[in-house]
Structure 1
Amino acid sequence: MPQSVDRALDVLDAVAASEGPVPAKALARRLDCGLSTVYELLGTLTARGHLVRTPAGYVLGYRVPSLHHAFQRQMRLADEVQELLVRARRAVGVDTYFSTYRDGDIAVLAGTAAAHPATGGFTPGRDAAAHATAHGKVLLAALPRAARLRYLSAAGMRAITPRTITSPERLDVQLRQVRREGSAVEVEESVPGVACVAVPVPAGPGGALTAISAALPLADFHRRGDRVTEAIRHVAAEAAKFQGTHDISRSTGG
């Protein structure tokens, strides 16, 4: 039974990672799984609304958005925070995101981006490479040293691009600067040709560790990175107002 659950989740992940409909035979090849098994799993996922069958193949079903809304509800993400991200994107024209540290993981909870963002974009969910992202650096900088080392030990520091920092010592130097300046900058460490900026959301004692970030093409960053940083500082200050009343992201400690 656990193996079939794993297989079903593999199918769901494979469909989610595709740019368009995926035929059953393609899924069987991709997952190195028998076609009859794949059809059985597809039938179950389709019946439960997680997938939809089209003439060209399988796509995500209408159950998926409800799962995302449930995720945001459980994380106590205030609607006002999403609205702030939308307003920020309209004001400065860049993709904006809201992230948190939770139970030893760093995750993106919400974001606003174009359908095909020039920056590649982040999708809501766990960020397994926080050492290479601006929001990750802000959250890592706020963690106690022991919690930060546990995270880096578990997640690793793989090189995503030639500019990714993979040395704990170099990262420590950068995180000290993040704490001094109250913001983080990441240039082509996660995606070539893309820069990100991030700031922490002010929180009271025991409050959740959260951050607001923005991603923009490198040339755009050099032209107006400072303006974008100031814009997301304003968003973070506004988001902090909802932290006490809505608990926009459950505190997990370190």
Structure 2
Amino acid sequence: MPQSVDRALDVLDAVAASDGPVPAKALARRLGCGLSTVYDLLGSLTARGHLVRTASGYALGYRVPALHDAFRRQMRVTDGLQDLLAEARRAAGADTYFSTYRDGDIAVLAGAATGHPATGGFTTGLDDTAHATAHGKMLLAALPPAARQRYLTAYGMRAITPRTVTSPARLDAQLRQVRRQGLAVEIEECAPGVACVAVPVPSGATGGAPAAVSAALPLEDFRQRGPQVTEELRRVAAEAAKFRKTADITGPTAG
């Protein structure tokens, strides 16, 4: 049973990764499964609404948006927060994101981006490269040492560009500076020609999970407008704090 669940999720992931409908035979080749097995899995996923069958193959089904809405609800990502990020993108002239820490993981939960490759291609979802991103450095700096070490042990510190910090000692020095300044900046650590800046979202008297808002923009733009973008992010962070629930279940593991 666990293997069939894994295969079903592999099928779902493969369809999600495609730009359009995928034929069953193509899925079987891609996943190294027998065609009859793939048809069985496709039948179950289609019956539950996670996939739909079209004339060209299989595509994501109408159940997927409901799962996305449920995820946003559980992670406290409101329409107000999304609108705030979109407003910030227009005001700052940079792609903006909201990120948080939950039970050992760091994730980008919402964003307002142009999708232009020059921004580095950040997308919402799990971030396993927090050592190289501005929002990741901000959140790592806010964690207790034991929780921070667990994250770095789990995901490592791989080099993404020649400028990525891969030394634990250098990262520790950066994080100390982040805590002093209340600001995280990375330059070309995640993508060539791209700079990112992040500020913390105030948690308020009730505490809660560390969260950050960040912006990504071409390096030349950052050199010219970095202070203005940072000022806009601080405004956004103060507003974003209003959308955080007081009963936050996503706080860092004590350590």
Measured after TM superposition, the shift of residue 108 of structure 1 is: 1.3
Q: Which residue of 2 aligns with 1:80?
A: 80
Q: List structure 1 runs of 4+ shifted beyond 6 angstroms.
A: none
Are 2:222 and 1:221 equivalent residues in the alignment?
yes
Q: Any gaps of 5 or more consecutive residues in structure 2?
A: none
Q: Return the offset for 1:55.
A: 2.9
Moved more, 110-119 or 161-170: 110-119
Counterparts of residues 162-177 of structure 1 (less than 5 Å) = 162-177=162-177
Aligned residue number for residue 230 of structure 1:
231
Matched position secondary structure for 2:65 = helix
Match of 2:209 in 1: 208
Counterparts in 2 of 1:11-30, with a 5 A limit?
Answer: 11-30=11-30
Question: Cα distance 1:123–1:67, how it changes in 2: closer, same or farther (>3 A)?
Answer: farther
Alignment match, 1:250:
249
Q: Residue 134 of structure 2 contacts residue 185 of structure 2 at CA under 8 Å; is this kept in 1? A: yes
Query: Could you say if the C-alpha distance between residues 207 and 16 of structure 1 is closer, same or farther in structure 2, counting changes exceeding 3 Å?
Result: same
Instruction: Indicate if the aligned counterparts of 2:85 and 2:111 stay in contact, CA closer than 8 A.
Output: yes
Deviation, 1:229, is 1.5
The root-mean-square deviation of aligned C-alpha atoms, in Å, is 1.9
State the distance in 1 between where 2:119 and 2:248 align: 26
In 2, Cα distance between equivalents of 1:183 and 1:93: 19
TM-score of the pair, normalised by structure 2? 0.91
Aligned residues: 252
Q: CA–CA distance in 2 between the matches of 1:148 and 1:239?
A: 24
Which deviates further from its counterpart, 113-122 or 172-181?
113-122
Range with bigger deviation, 55-64 or 125-134 = 55-64
Residue of structure 2 in register with 1:195 after alignment: 195
Counterpart of 2:55?
55
Q: Secondary structure at the match of 1:211?
A: strand
1:250 counterpart letter in structure 2 = I
> 1:46 is matched with which residue?
46
For residues 185 and 115 of structure 1, do their structure 2 counterparts lie closer, same or farther at Cα, with a shift above 3 Å needed?
closer
TM-score (norm 1): 0.91
Given that 1:163 and 1:189 are in contact with CA atoms closer than 8 Å, whether structure 2 keeps it comes out as yes
Cα 1:20–1:192 shift into 2, 3 Å = farther
Q: How does 1:103-182 map to 2 (within 5 A)?
A: 103-114=103-114, 118-182=118-182
Q: CA offsets per residue over residues 82-102 of structure 1, 9 Å max, x none?
A: 121111112123221111111
Letter in 1 for 2:174: Q
Q: Which amino acid aligns with 1:253?
A: P
1:219 alignment partner AA? E
**C-alpha distance in structure 2 between counterparts of 1:226 and 1:22, whole Å:** 46
CA displacement 1:233-253 (0-9 Å, x = unmatched): 11001112333xx34963423
Question: What displacement does 1:65 show?
Answer: 1.4
**1:142-200 superposed Cα distances (whole Å, 9 cap, x missing partner):** 11111111111111111222221111111111111111111111222222332211111
CA distance in 1, matches of 2:83, 2:57: 35
Query: Residues of 2 paired with 1:98 and 1:85: CA distance?
Result: 8
The 3-state SS of whatever aligns with 1:207 is: coil
Q: Tell me the distance in 1 between the aligned counterparts of 2:10 and 2:39.
A: 13
Q: Is the 8 A contact 1:242 1:248 kept in 2?
A: no
Query: What's the secondary structure of 2:119's corresponding residue?
Result: coil
Read off the aligned partner of 2:249 and give its amino acid letter.
Answer: R
Matched residue SS, 2:172 = helix
Q: Cα distance 1:166–1:182, how it changes in 2: closer, same or farther (>3 A)? A: same
Distance 1:153 1:21, change over 3 A: same
In structure 2, C-alpha distance between the alignment counterparts of 1:77 and 1:188, rounded to whole Å = 29
Specify the alignment match of 2:102 in structure 1.
Answer: 102
